[in-house]
A and B are shown apart, each in its own frame.
Chain A
Amino acid sequence: DTGVSQDPRHKITKRGQNVTFRCDPISEHNRLYWYRQTLGQGPEFLTYFQNEAQLEKSRLLSDRFSAERPKGSFSTLEIQRTEQGDSAMYLCASSLEGNNEKLFFGSGTQLSVL
């Protein structure tokens, strides 16, 4: 499978715990995006990387959230001191920069904070 893969698919944690998600993009894609989706809503942009550089962060991304893409390939999204409001689907997408840029999404990580 050469699509975007995310791990884990599901994560249940207790409030206050830290969690980390991983995204492996399509190999030739230089851009990587993180989105968050709550039930019944469309995905909301969180942040994106071009190669290893994090170029933009949404106001939704509080200081408890941090994302990295150290080698310009896979990325991790960490949430510290999780809150119940963090419960959502966290989606990763990748793309190839250009005039015809299209985002390809992974299946997401469903986070439940108890």
Chain B
Amino acid sequence: GESVGLHLPTLSVQEGDNSIINCAYSNSASDYFIWYKQESGKGPQFIIDIRSNMDKRQGQRVTVLLNKTVKHLSLQIAATQPGDSAVYFCAENRITGGGNKLTFGTGTQLKVEL
């Protein structure tokens, strides 16, 4: 069936190192992918998005890479800071003609060690 999944449930990194969070998706018809950050007790916060006609997109300290051949999405965080500790979700937009009804993966817990 169609799904969005993450490879690792928990990722621990040292402060200052780069973090890479991976995500696999199965619906080749999806054309829009988003990364959200969710801190404890809060709703998901938009980080960065990418459309299927792009391979890479950069934001402030974050980069999203899309490999459509293997249906893989990654989020790279440069110089990881303690404030980056959170659960990170990738989500996809299914093309159904109406609404941005995102399908979320399970999430990866990022822990930044001092």
Please report which residues of chain A, range 8-31, place their CB below 8 angstroms from some CB of chain B when the two chains form the complex.
31
Per a CB cutoff under 8 Å, which of B36, B98, B104 touches A44?
A: B104
B interface, CB within 8 angstroms of A: 4, 34, 36, 41-46, 49, 89, 91, 98-107
Alpha-carbon distance A55/B41, docked complex (angstroms): 29
B4 / chain A contacts, CB cutoff of 8 Å = 42
A56 to B49, CA, bound (A): 24
User: CB distance B43 to A45 under 8 Å?
Assistant: no
Asked if residues B103 and A45 are in contact (CB atoms below 8 Å), the reply is yes
When A and B form their complex, what is the total count of cross-chain residue pairs whose Cβ atoms lie within 8 Å? 57
| Contact sample, A vs B, 16 pairs, CB 8 Å cutoff | A33-B101, A42-B104, A42-B106, A42-B107, A43-B102, A45-B102, A50-B99, A55-B98, A56-B98, A56-B101, A102-B46, A102-B100, A105-B36, A106-B43, A107-B41, A108-B42
In the complex, the chain A residue whose C-beta lies closest to that of B107 is: A42
Q: Collect the chain B residues with CB atoms within 8 Å of residue A103's CB.
A: 46, 100, 102
**Interface-centre pick from B42, B102, B105 (highest chain A CB count, 10 A):** B102
B-binding residues in A (CB < 8 A): 4, 31, 33, 40-45, 48, 50, 55-56, 91, 93, 95, 101-108
Name the one of A4, A41, A56, A104 contacting B99, with C-beta atoms under 8 angstroms: A56
* A45 and chain B: residue at smallest CB distance: B101
Q: Which of B45, B46, B101 contacts A48 (CB 8 A)?
A: B101
Q: Which B residues lie within 8 Å of A93 (CB)?
A: 43
The complex places the Cα of A4 from the Cα of B70 at a distance, in Å, of 36
Nearest-neighbour CB distance to chain A for B63, whole angstroms, equals: 18
Q: Which residues does chain A contribute within 8 Å of B105, judged by CB atoms? A: 42
In the A-B complex, the 8 residue pairs with the smallest Cβ-Cβ separation, listed nearest first, are A42-B104, A105-B43, A101-B100, A105-B44, A45-B101, A48-B99, A107-B43, A42-B89
